Amino acid sequence: MFAYPLTLSVILQLVLTASAYRQPYAYLQAIQSFADAFTNPSSVINGSIASPLAEDVVGRIDVTTTFVGQELNTEYLFGLFVEGASETSTQLIGSPSSYTTQSLVVEPPNVAVSLVNQLHYPTINSYFPLQIDLFIAFDDDMKIISYDAILRRWSEFFTYLTPLIVPQIATELNSTSTNSTELITMKTANDVCEMSTQYCTGENQVYDSNDACMEFMTNIEFGNPWEGGMDNGWCRYIHKNMVKYRPEVHCPHIGPTGGDMCIARDYVQLTEDMPFNATLIAYNASYNALDIKNVPDHNQDELVEIATEIVYMTTVAFYSVSCVIYMLLLYVLAKVIEFFFYRYSMSYRTMSITNQRNSVTYVMDLLVTITALALQLVSSPVLNNRYTFAASGMLKVTALLISGLYIFELTYRISMRWPLMTHHFCTIFAIVLLLSVLSYTRHPALMGAGEIWLFQATTEQSVFVGLLMYRLDYSPRWTRDVLYLAAIQSFIFKLGFAAYLLGFWAQHLVQFHSSDDIALSVLLVVLTVLLMATQVYGAGAVWGLAKKVNRFMNDPLPSPAGSDKSHDTLVFEELHKH
Ligand SMILES: *[C@@H]1O[C@H](CO)[C@@H](O)[C@H](O)[C@H]1NC(C)=O
Ligand SMILES: *[C@@H]1O[C@H](CO)[C@@H](O)[C@H](O)[C@H]1NC(C)=O
Ligand SMILES: *[C@@H]1O[C@H](CO)[C@@H](O)[C@H](O)[C@H]1NC(C)=O
Ligand SMILES: *[C@@H]1O[C@H](CO)[C@@H](O)[C@H](O)[C@H]1NC(C)=O
Ligand SMILES: CC(=O)N[C@H]1CO[C@H](CO)[C@@H](O)[C@@H]1O
């Protein structure tokens, strides 16, 4: 029987992990890790943090070009900056040092993000901001599978930067020139040829000599800032930092031919080309193109609408698998308890079907409320504003456990007195109310209110134990004591939690006190009062039952809960609880 909460949680887990995409929050974290790695690239290069890029990533940077595969992308996204930072001379490309997120949209598995990076230029002791806009697609392992990056205002950045760095560059080059074009060309030639002479040797040699390199590099145009992927000095300058990693791949890029990187490019082709393996369009009718082969366009649009629907707690056309499975489990649980009672309890076999069903529900109440109470206790930090994803989930599960149990009870029991029915209706209504308001207002304190309210339903196990003992003819003395105790305990707890709820509402739900949002407050107070009334009645009934057992005990004639059962039954009808 204790396997039951376990089964439920296993099934819930299966349902949860079966979903293809992660929660949006996982993408926020992945973006943060990526941005952190970008501002601390050496940790990716030396392998101390795993690359955020997938094996077959395809990346494109508007001012340069498209890069295919993890190794190449790692070199350009991280290696370029590690090498730049290790140089002692002024670099045209600064080192990312910190970032702020300016815009962010998550639509799993895609993210659009705009980061403002502070690029460090240590030789002039300055930081300049550069905004980078990225469209990113993640794969199932939360690795970047496609990214399309735009260096916003790069031309403007470069134009702004140039006059600030050229004086320092002139000093480093021992040049007396003040002509920026000349100085930048000199600088580019100097740095590229240094790398080429040092690393592009043997089979990888691309220039006849350092002089030949300088000759070529000082005569080729530097190019415009946005031409980082074209046949010019700027493109070769960008690629110089990678030469050290894989000379065989990168030397051609800085050589006279430009390899497959620094070449003439066609604007129209560049603009129309879509080099990515994974789509960057988040809204899609299906994960698999084959599945939608025969679906007309219009219906594909409808499928997108279905796939992107946000499910609220009040959405009607929504099938809650966990809820349905839970209702089935309640049914199975009832059958299992019936089986064991029938097998092992003489009293059960001889009692009326009404009382049999009542007894079964006491056991179910006991099991479910213990589970619910445990979940609530674990999530109790929400009462102190310590909200967590897990706590919110546990509270919703608790609400489901209790609501489902009550509905099952309403249908399973042969008859129910109105106080108990009122109690169940009010409790379910309160849960529905709080969850609906929570889903529309996202006021987190509603979680706390729900937690306190649910305690009223999950701290009356002693009552179920007492009633069960009574019903199953357990020792009269013990039965009486447990019933007395249950009456007092449940009364105190319910009163306590009702007072706590009102206090909590007064303190934390101020926004619902005003005339606009007053509905919740009115309903909350009405429901609390109604529930209190049924609960006072319930505690009174349990107390009365205890007194009755006491009377039987002191009166030798009719034996305690045995012979006078049909009479007890009437009393019990009122009793069940509350
Ligand atoms: C890798 O680089 C990071 C950041 O610079 C550094 O903190 C870490 O110690 C390095 N790890 C190794 C193994 O070199
Ligand atoms: C500039 O001059 C200094 C010393 O005069 C020398 O060490 C350095 O190598 C020169 N730099 C270049 C790029 O010629
Ligand atoms: C700077 O040098 C370039 C190339 O040598 C030349 O075309 C340009 O006119 C010069 N600019 C100024 C302001 O002297
Ligand atoms: C939808 O997904 C399929 C399969 O991944 C892909 O082939 C197709 O291009 C996507 N559609 C859009 C509009 O991105
Ligand atoms: C796995 C896969 O489809 N990889 C392809 C990704 O895109 C690049 C370039 O567009 C191809 O070269 C890969 O084969």
Q: Please tell me the CATH code under which domain 22-161+266-284 is placed.
A: 3.10.450.50
Nearest CA to ligand 1 atom 4: 43
Angle between helices 476-508 and 461-471 (to 10 degrees): 160
- Ligand nearest the Cα of residue 46 is 1
> Nearest C-alpha to atom 12 of ligand 3 is from which residue?
179
User: Distance from the CA of 210 to the center of ligand 3, in angstroms?
Assistant: 25
CA atoms within 13 Å, Cβ hemisphere of 478 = 10
CATH 3.10.450.50 maps onto the chain at 22-161+266-284
Q: What is the chain's alpha carbon radius of gyration, rounded to the nearest angstrom?
A: 36
CA of 145 to the centre of ligand 4 (A): 14
Residue nearest to atom 4 of ligand 3 (CA): 182
User: CB–CB of 338/360 below 8 Å?
Assistant: yes
What string of DSSP letters covers 187-256? HHHHHHHHHHHHHS-GGG--SSSHHHHHHHHHHS----TT-TTSSSHHHHHHHHTTTTT-HHHHHHHHSS
Q: What pLDDT score does 474 carry?
A: 83
Distance 535 CA to ligand 3 centre (A): 92
Q: What is the pLDDT of residue 192?
A: 97
> From ligand 4's centre to the CA of 279, what distance in Å?
6
Q: Which of 166, 179, 219 to mutate to test the pocket of ligand 3 (most atoms within 8 A of CB)?
A: 179
Contact call for residues 118 and 99 (beta carbons, < 8 A) = yes
What is the position in ligand 4's atom list of the atom closest to the CA of 284?
1
Supply the pLDDT for residue 198.
96
Q: Is the shortest distance between the CB of 1 and ligand 4 below 6 Å?
A: no
- For residue 284, the model assigns a pLDDT of 80
Give the pLDDT confidence score for residue 242 in this predicted structure.
93
Q: In 477-489, which positions are buried (b, 16+ CB within 10 angstroms) versus exposed (e)?
A: eebbbbbbbbbeb
Ranges of the chain with pLDDT below 70 = 1-21, 555-578
Does 179 sit in the ligand 3 pocket, CB within 6 Å? yes
Between the CA of 123 and the centroid of ligand 2 the distance, in Å, is: 16
pTM of the model: 0.78
Identify which ligand lies nearest to the alpha carbon of 172: 2
| Number of residues that this document lists for the chain | 578
According to the model, what pLDDT value does residue 576 have?
A: 39
Tell me the residue type at 271. T
Please give the structure tokens belonging to residue 470.
């009574």
Could you tell me the distance, in angstroms and rounded to a whole number, from the CA of residue 308 to the centre of ligand 4? 14
pLDDT (0 to 100) of residue 571:
41
Q: What is the pLDDT of residues 164-209, one digit of tens each?
A: 999 999 999 999 999 999 999 999 999 999 999 999 999 999 999 9
Q: Please check whether residue 464 is in contact with residue 426, taking contact to mean a CB–CB distance below 8 angstroms.
A: no
Tens digit of pLDDT for each residue in 231-242?
999 999 999 999
Probe residue for ligand 5, chosen from 277, 279, 280 as the CB with the greatest number of ligand atoms within 8 Å: 277
Preceding amide of 167 cis, omega within 30: no
CA-based nearest residue to 96, from 118, 74, 113: 118
Ligand 1 mean position to 477 CA, how many Å?
Answer: 72
Give the pocket of ligand 1 (CB within 6 Å). 40, 42-43, 46, 48
Compute the half-sphere exposure of residue 236: CA atoms within 13 Å on the CB side of its CA.
33
Per-residue confidence (pLDDT) for residue 11, from 0 to 100: 56
Distance 325 CA to ligand 1 centre (A): 50
Q: Tell the residue number behind the tokens 């790069």, with chain if given.
A: 154
Say what the pLDDT of residue 565 is.
44
Nearest to 249 by CA among 71, 427, 111, 394: 71
Residue whose CA is closest, atom 14 of ligand 1? 46
